[in-house]
Amino acid sequence: MATTVDETPVPLATIPVTFWGRTWHRLKKNKLALAGLAVIGLIGLVALLAPWIAPYAEETQDTNALLQGPSWAHLMGTDRLGRDMLSRVIFGTRVSVTIATVTSLIAMVFGTVLGAVSGYVGGRLDNILMRMVDVLYSFPDLLLIIIISVVIGQGVVGITLSLSLVSWITVARIVRGEVLSIKERPFVEAARSLGFGGPRIVFREILPHVVAPIVVTLTFRIPSVILAESTLSFIGLGLQPPASSWGVLASDGWTAITFFPHLIIFPSLAIFVTILAFNIVGDGLRDAMSIRDQS
Amino acid sequence: MRLRGRVSLKFLVTRLLWGIPVLFAVVTVAFFVMRYTPGGPFDREKPLPPAVEANLRRQYRLDRPLLPVYTAADEADRQKELDTFAAAHTVVPLGGLNVVVDPSGIAETQYFAYLGQLATGDFGVSMKFTQISVNDILWRTFPVSTLLGLTAFLLAFGMGITLGVVAAARRGTWIDGVTMVGATFGFSMPNFVLGIVLILVFALGLKWLPPALWEGPSYLILPALTLAVGPAAYIARLTRSGMLDIMDQDFIRTARGKGLSERAVLIKHALANALGPIITVAGPLMAMLVTGSFIVEHIFAIPGMGRYFITAVIDRDYPLVMGVTVVYAALVVVANIAVDILYAVADPRVKLED
């Protein structure tokens, strides 16, 4: 019963051995990235809890308080219908963040699968895909998004789909590049000689090695989708009111910029801070995972 | 810097010829996407009298089928137009499809008529600004957009490379830190947000510069800056990391050992070798500037192509949308070739043949 176990503390390695442990260990030292991560968490919470934390209901109009500047009752002021801007920005967070996240995930899945298959199979398939990517790349993407969104529709779903259709290209390019180099490595050859089929090699053997660049790409995809969506909505070609993302709010405020700048400042600030936070975290992750810049 | 013998004529011709299928693809995609987009150029809040609309449609060839192969349209009005077309040409029904078989009929369908017209360099007449040809609009707006774009391009490279070199030279100091954080800020700032900030501060607040319009050199400053900051931030980061890679190499130590001034080491040795990757981004950068110019021209009410493009899409002004798209696509194609040549200028080892 009394088997003695040596309980003297083994000097544990201070640096974690797993990839994710190591990444977190390095990221922790990057104060800026941690701050960015905190901001992202906060934005996520705001998006999730919008109806509970917004001081007013989204569409409540107070006709006694039209176009007021920031005050204690309305921290970001009110718009021309007397709606509380803080509440509108909070609900806008929901719309903007949802569109960005869903779009990035769709782009991620399609980009990864197409990029991986194209890179692994090579040959004609790869050629066709890469020529497509060339054409799409030399096309100003806003132009493409405008055209597609006009066709599919300018609701949340339409905008999400049209942004996804453009976003997968970047992911596909990066994943393809990674797969091209990994597929020459000995362990892939070993898998092939064990008789594994193409799909198993691509998805079970190769892709796990591409996770790091994919995560970094995802982190940079989200801000660029927020950028594209808000820009489109700002010029009136994206989401249409009453759906209100930050871009729609900014667009609303644009007409009154001379006399009521608060209407445009706060939504713009929300857009800027969000993009900034994601870019900072993306940079941090890239450094922590020691991936070369390939944007 | 000598290019003789390194950039072959054959390379240039091949690359230019490759532009033709790319442009063709762009034209085709844009043409059909615009036509299948709901809404039309003559939709008004108060509908036009049917006779007027029919006349307009005939004038702009919208009464013809898009392609020589078409199905019966679902709208009654459109059906009448298609019947009129079918009566004037040889149209054979084939399993639910109508196939135009006579050559003149094929040439008169909308798509082929547009291609034929485009081949002569004619973009047609705007549907919104009636009586004005798209060629006229492009001739008027192209120089404006080009001036704005080139200024922004030079500004972006000037600021970006300078900041990147300074940051690399002062690696690890607060100068490096501030520059790189600043670059992240600049890169995260959407064009329209930056435009708004600049207008609020320099035009409406300090009243130093005009907030909008295009009436003299001072009108160029804010929009060019708005357009340039994002790319400049991008180039600054790229320059810094390129420089840092190079500065660790032996030949830099040799250069320092020779007693060269730090300035000469940085510019002549490090920067010259770091330029390659910076130049390669000039292509995507062009696309960034083009996209940006849509927004910036819209915000600053600048009469350039980008601003016309946005209103043209909203108005479904088919010929104008097509015209601007073709010019932009051609610009990107040419810019990419220019980037390849610049690449050869910067790196004497590069040979552009084939």
Residue spans per domain, chain B: 42-124, 134-346
Contact B309 A276 (CB under 8 A): no
The whole-angstrom distance between residue B251's C-alpha and the CA centroid of its chain comes to 40
Q: Supply the DSSP symbol for B207.
A: -
pLDDT at A105 (0 to 100): 92
> What tens digit of pLDDT does each residue of A146-202 get?
777 777 777 888 888 888 888 888 888 888 888 888 888 888 888 888 888 888 888
B309 at A interface, C-beta within 8 A:
yes
Which of A235, A236, A268 shows the shortest C-beta gap to B193?
Answer: A268
Tell me how many residue pairs between chain A and chain B have CB atoms under 8 A apart. 108
For residue A116, the SS3 value is helix
pLDDT at A250 (0 to 100): 78
For residue A72, the SS3 value is coil
Quickly count: other Cβ atoms within 10 Å of residue A255's Cβ: 11
Chain A interface residues (partner B, CB cutoff 8 A): 32, 134-135, 137-143, 146-148, 150-151, 223, 227, 230-231, 234-237, 250, 254, 257-258, 261, 264-265, 268, 271-272, 275-276, 279-280, 283, 293
B287 at A interface, C-beta within 8 A:
yes
Residue numbers in A near B325 (CB within 8 A): 143
CA dihedral B140, B144, A224, A263 (to 10 degrees): -100
Distance CA A143, CA A162 (A): 11
Contact B336 A235 (CB under 8 A): no
Mean pLDDT in residue range B282-289: 72
Mean pLDDT in residue range B336-341: 77
pLDDT at A101 (0 to 100): 92
pLDDT at A103 (0 to 100): 92
Mean pLDDT in residue range B18-28: 83
For residue B69, the SS3 value is strand
Q: Which residues does residue B352 pair with via DSSP β-bridges, in sequence order?
A: B7
Residue numbers in B near A173 (CB within 8 A): none
- Could you identify the residue written with the tokens 């070199």? B165
- Torsion B233-B237-B242-B243 (CA) sign: positive
Of the candidates A251, B239, A277, the residue with the CA atom closest to the CA atom of residue A243:
A251
CA of A276, closest CA in chain B: separation in Å? Answer: 5
Is B95 or B162 the better-scoring residue by pLDDT? B162
- The CATH fold assigned to B134-346 is MetI-like fold (1.10.3720)
Which of B196, B244, B302 is the mutation pick for testing A, counting most A CBs within 10 A? B196
Mean pLDDT in residue range B114-120: 86
Mean pLDDT in residue range B111-116: 87
Mean pLDDT in residue range B292-318: 83
pLDDT at A15 (0 to 100): 67
B112 at A interface, C-beta within 8 A:
no
Q: Which residues of chain A have pLDDT under 70?
A: 1-15, 62, 65-67, 69, 74-75, 82, 134-135, 137-141, 143, 257, 291-295
Mean pLDDT in residue range B64-92: 74
Contact A293 B238 (CB under 8 A): yes
pLDDT at A65 (0 to 100): 67
pLDDT at B76 (0 to 100): 57
